[in-house]
Copies of this chain bind each other. A is one copy, B any other.
Amino acid sequence: GRRRLQGVAVVHDLLVTLEEVFHGCTKHMKITRSRLNPDGRSLRTEDKVLNVVVKKGWKEGTKITFPREGDETPNNIPADVAFVLKDKKHPHYKRDGSNIIYTAKITLKEALCGCTVNVPTLDNRTMPLPCSDVIKPGAIRRLRGEGLPHAKTPSTRGDLVVEFQVVFPDRIPPQSKEIIKHSLAGC
């Protein structure tokens, strides 16, 4: 027979939310491709749904390949179709491997005088995080095991890292300045 060649894989982005990575999910991806009719020469266009299984904790860049699901022509072996995992932007968290980072905005008063921050978790709980010591800008606290599952051992999880952003007031009245100056004199 003739030697048939295979083209390079057709690669699609597969956008997933952190919640989907947390629980694992199956994405139903519709592709459109050409297939050869029984006459061996004419082509038809057909839709097909590929079920892409995303396992718990999979990282951005993970590639799932479906062999030979690309366009068919009289002369070629259909190319592979591949999906590459890509994280959707999350309203609360940034991802860092198996850890997720939550930025807690607190006021200067809260940073200096104490507060309790309500941290949202991936499974829709709220964890109260009491802060009694001075919180410095950029300081972090870890809620261990509240991050994403580790891809290789999904029974264990990364951390939810709380990173503090301290919001300063735009101005402080002169009389308050004087009082604060004296209160902070020994610090």
> Are the C-beta atoms of B166 and A184 separated by less than 8 Å?
no
**Using a CB–CB distance below 8 Å, which chain A residues touch chain B?**
107-109, 111-114, 133-137, 166, 168-173, 176-181, 183-187
> Are the C-beta atoms of A168 and B134 separated by less than 8 Å?
yes
Task: Write 15 A-B pairs (CB below 8 A) sorted by A numbering.
Answer: A108-B184, A112-B172, A113-B181, A134-B168, A134-B169, A134-B172, A137-B137, A137-B168, A169-B184, A171-B187, A172-B183, A172-B187, A173-B186, A176-B184, A176-B187
Question: Complex formed: what's the CA distance from A186 to B136 in Å?
Answer: 21
Identical chains in the assembly: 2
How far in angstroms is the closest Cβ of chain B from A181? 4
Complex: chain B residue closest to A177, CB-CB: B113
**Among A107, A166, A171, A172, which residue has the most Cβ atoms of chain B within 10 A?**
A172
> Are the C-beta atoms of A183 and B183 separated by less than 8 Å?
yes
Question: Complex formed: what's the CA distance from A2 to B145 in Å?
Answer: 72
> Are the C-beta atoms of A180 and B113 separated by less than 8 Å?
yes
**Among A136, A137, A166, A183, which residue has the most Cβ atoms of chain B within 10 A?**
A183
